[in-house]
Structure 1
Amino acid sequence: MCCTIWVYRLYDTANAISLEKAESILAAGSSVSRLRLTRVSPKAIAFKNAPVTAQLAPQQVPIAGYAYSAEVRARIYDLGVISLIFRITLPPDTTYDHLVNLAVDIDNIPEEIFLSVLESVVAAIRPAIIGERAPIVDEDLVIYYFQQWKDWDMVPLLLAEKEPVSPETRRETLANRFSYAEDFTVMGWDKAVVYDPTGSPDIPDLLEFANAQLLELRYYDHLLDREIDKMYDAIAEAERTAVYRRLGEYRRIRRQVLELLADITSITSKIHNSLRITEDVFYARVYTTYLRLVRIQDWAASIDQRIEVIQRSYNLLTEEVVTNRSELMEAAIILIILLEFVVSLFELF
């Protein structure tokens, strides 16, 4: 075997997916399993709710002028992510030049192929989907998986680039290399080369899981951005209403903001805690390095900043509600005093 190319497309499809229901539905028509790493004990790496994997029908995939048969799997996450994995096994006589040509063209696989498979999966597990939405956010990943290594140059595969690169670029590209025994993994932004004589899928599975977390953080970052704009528009609209209605509008906006804060805090906590590596140092290094490569902390920090903006707005709205309530009470007291004064005048005359 020369090489197997694992092409991933991950889509955000829902607020959540009931894995128990999805597993039950898919088991009726295909081979189904839960994700489990094969080379470590379950205690070493703990999935909060291990995603469901289903074997699907093979697909024909055009790359660099050739049609390849791809083994297809769908992996379903309770976070609402559906990952499609196309495994393309190349012939044993595949040359290095041909592999580089594939690497250059691999990102040009028609998206319609993936979306067609995604639609069929969503249709099948729809009863398990909670808060379905159009897959407007996606992540992609390509892994070149070898069980036999021929000492080929990995840089063109990782960069999808035929042209020679500078020594600095080469060093940066190959910097994130990890090896446990005879195996090795070299990771880039959205590409990786994995050599493992045992055929274990553990490293690809870890990288895929990290992409699912990244995808969800990206989605909720965009969601918060939209919600902040809507909040500001709602506040501006409330300020244009009559004074006696404004307090009710502020209360409504404040209630919505509080619900949003609670939802986002719960969701982001679930994302961060969906995988715990407790004992395996090697896998922990691979996983945390990849998270750093895809800048997942930047997305997490962006969400935290937006939450702070929303929190400040909530506090300001609370102050405004209290101020308006105090003003109304003062006005009511003044009105009562005036009424008593008028009544006293009538009694005098």
Structure 2
Amino acid sequence: MIARGTCHVFFAFLAAAKVDLERAQAIARARPTERPRFQRERRSPAYLDFDPPPLQITVPCAPVPIGSGRFATEARADVTIYDFGAFSVDYRVPFEDGLPELARLSSALYDHVGLLGAARERVVELVEAIGPALAGERLADVYEQYVVFDVASFDPAVPARELLAKDELRHAIAQILRSEERSLAESRVEDALRLSIAYGPDDLLVVDWSTALAVGGSADERLVLEFANAELLELRNLDKRLDQDLEEANRALQRRRRSLLGGAQLRRVARLQVDSAMLYESVNNAVSLLGDQWLAEVYGLIAERYDLEKWHGSIAHKLDTLDSIYQKIADEASARRSELLEIVIILLIALEVQWGRLFGGLREWLAAGAAGVP
């Protein structure tokens, strides 16, 4: 059986803390640009969309050979830029091969150093080109890769619903999803195929950790998968950053004993708290997938596979911990200010009493001198 379609290889990078997408589009006007939105090829609510829509820039590039030259990327790449600072590079690899060949392609794409390096070069070029639109420029070493095998047709034709019903096809698809050329145990096959969804009898989407298979899929589904890949990277980065912020906040909490008022420590923790909270909100609100609709279900599948709820829970807990440290420093600083104020008041009263005695004695001495008393 021959499958025809396109393999999309997504690489997500962190290149900035914030991106002014309008300004970036104006700077990149000499390049083909687009603000991708969901086309709603499946029925979905009108309020489902990106907020704000990311910026997609098409850049020409040399084809990258894959699998000993058996496959190669197209001579272009689409770079999607999100306002929260993530850059996603989409390389396309056309295919017209049997399922075993696609398993070999998937295996070759796994941790492909050449393709990763080429994707990073595309991001570096764009960062330099649209630099004025970036805030907190920081191209990090971390990245996330996700591969989508988008199958347009099979020859001979096979109903999508049969792909997971026949053992031979199930095992072949599992090998593609797990980037394995060798046969897999039935338990591995079941786990790889566990998360699947279909809108109709002629389409199918199966998502795994690093690879998805879409039969008769839409561009909307790829947008969701690409965004989820970038979201996972941002959440991983934010979680690690919060670990560092908590360490710094704890050091600030210890330094408060050596500070009279704790104002510097309070400001430092407040900055950490605000920066992290704003980044988390920008990621969390980047896409509106409301209601029990198709794309929300697609997002739910990849979110379950990525365990995004666990990442969100971890980040929320660390933000709460950071807030509690801030409150503790603030409360202690307030208590110290109150104590200092009480001390100042006592000193002023004592000073007033002493000045009163001093001036009282001086007045008696002057009065005695004026009366001629020796």
- Establish whether TM, by shorter chain, passes 0.5: yes
Partner of 2:199: 180
Once the two structures are TM-superposed, the CA of residue 316 in structure 1 deviates from its matched residue by: 1.0
Tell me the residue number matched to 2:369: none
Tell me what 1:11 maps to. 13
| Cross-structure match for 1:224 | 242
Determine the C-alpha separation between the residues in 2 that align with 1:143 and 1:201: 11
Paired with 1:270 and 1:121, the residues of 2 have a C-alpha distance of 22
Counterpart AA for 1:69: T
Q: Counterparts of 1:58 and 1:266 in 2: how far apart (Å)?
A: 35
Deviations 1:111-156 (A, max 9, x none): 3222111111111111211221122332110111110135542100
Give CA-to-partner distance per residue, 1:196-252, whole Å, 9 cap, x none: 1xx63221111111222222222222222212212222333443x4xxxx134x112
* Equivalent position of 1:132 in the other structure: 137
**Partner SS state of residue 60, structure 1:** coil
1:167 aligned residue: 186
| Residues 26-75 of structure 1 deviation map (CA, whole Å, 9 limit, x = unaligned) | 2313x211112231467152221111112111332232222613341111
CA contact (8 A) 2:197 2:204 kept: yes
Partner Cα separation in structure 2 for residue 96 and residue 184 of structure 1: 16
Is 2:204 the counterpart of 1:192? no
- CA shift, 1:166, in A, is 2.5
In 2 relative to 1, CA 136–42 (structure 1 residues): closer, same or farther, beyond 3 Å? farther
Residue 36 in structure 1 maps to residue 37 in structure 2: yes
Could you tell me whether the CA contact under 8 Å between 2:21 and 2:55 is conserved in 1? yes
Q: How does 1:98-109 map to 2 (within 5 A)?
A: 98-109=101-112
Q: What is the rounded CA distance, in whole Å, between the counterparts of 1:311 and 1:100 in structure 2?
A: 48
Of residues 231, 247, 260, the one that matches 1:247 is 260
> For residue 141 of structure 1, what is the aligned residue in structure 2?
146
Q: State the 1:84 CA deviation.
A: 0.3
Residues 232-286 of structure 1 deviation map (CA, whole Å, 9 limit, x = unaligned): 22333443x4xxxx134x1122123234333433332232222113467222111
Among 24, 27, 41, the alignment partner of 1:25 is 27
Contact 1:63 1:108 in 2 (8 A): no
The correspondence of residues 1-349 of structure 1 with structure 2, limited to 5 A, is 2-29=4-31, 31-38=32-39, 39-40=41-42, 43=46, 45-66=48-69, 68-70=72-74, 71-90=76-95, 92=96, 94-110=97-113, 111-149=116-154, 152=169, 153-181=172-200, 182-196=202-216, 200-239=218-257, 241=258, 246-248=259-261, 250-278=262-290, 281-343=293-355, 346=358, 347=360
**Which of 1 and 2 has greater Rg?**
2
5+ residue gaps, structure 2, are 156-162, 164-168, 363-374
Letter paired with 2:212: A
C-alpha separation in 1, matches of 2:127 and 2:298: 31
Q: Distance in 1 between matches of 2:319 and 2:181?
A: 44
Give the conservation status (yes or no) of the 8 Å contact 1:12–1:137.
Answer: yes
CA shift at 1:294, angstroms? 0.8
Root mean square deviation of aligned Cα: 2.3
TM-score, scaled relative to structure 1: 0.88
In the TM superposition, residue 185 of structure 1 has moved relative to its aligned partner by 0.5
Q: Residues 43 and 279 of structure 1 are in contact (CA less than 8 Å); yes or no, is this contact kept in structure 2? A: no
Q: One-letter code of the match for 1:231?
A: A
Farther off after superposition, 257-266 or 121-130: 257-266
The share of aligned pairs that are identical, in percent, is 26
The match for 2:366 is none
User: How many residue pairs end up in the alignment?
Assistant: 338
* Aligned partner of residue 14 in structure 1, secondary structure: coil
8 Å CA contact retained: 1:144, 1:194: yes
